[in-house]
Amino acid sequence: MNYITSVVVLITIDFFIRYVLFSLYSCRHLFPVTDGTTVSAMFNSLGTRLLCRELESQGSQHIVIHKIPSEGQQQGSDEQMEKIKLKSAGYTASRMGLKICCFAGEDDDLVIAASSEANLHIWSVPDVRSSGNGMAEQFLLSLSGHKQAINSVDYCNVISALASCSGDSVIKLWTPNRN
């Protein structure tokens, strides 16, 4: 195969990937952020909720859980806009310096957030409809043990464990006490 044929093949493959494969995707729903920007988003294991970390223009941040509408729902329906901002008494997300968050627990019933203050913060996930004003104060606890800001956290449902890593060059594996 000569050089020109190789270039034509590569361009054809690139075109196929960009325009044919990605044309199979379309935007089904929008989750508008009213005052700021969303810096991370991840699904729960069933694809029914979306966990977002949102930064507001004045510098505060929130962890927000959006309920994802079912396939047949119309764009702009009331259920599409169901969301919950997580908080804890006297301790706001902006003071925690949250960096990344994930769902955890057997039924994705927990939210874990890593912070720049070297702690993991854990909330119980409330039902979207029962939160009333869209704010949920179901903060459970904080886990400490790192010496520097936590850069990442992830949960493994198979072994019921959290993994976190930080600037202190340590990866920690957190498992529930079985006492």
pLDDT digits (tens, 9 = 90+) for 140-168: 888 999 999 899 999 998 899 999 999 89
CB 162, CB 104: distance < 8 Å: yes
Residue 4 host element (H or E): helix 3-15
Residues 6+ apart with CB under 8 A from 90: none
Residues 7-37 have pLDDT tens digits of 566 666 666 666 555 566 666 666 766 667 7
- pLDDT of 77 reads 47
Domains, the chain, ordered by start: 30-174 (2.130.10.10)
Lowest mean pLDDT among 74-88, 140-154, 163-177: 74-88
**pTM over cut 0.85:** no
Q: Name the average pLDDT for the chain.
A: 75
Q: And the tokens for 172? A: 């920690």
- pLDDT of 146 reads 93
Residues 45-70 have pLDDT tens digits of 888 888 888 777 766 777 888 888 77
More confident residue, 90 or 142: 142
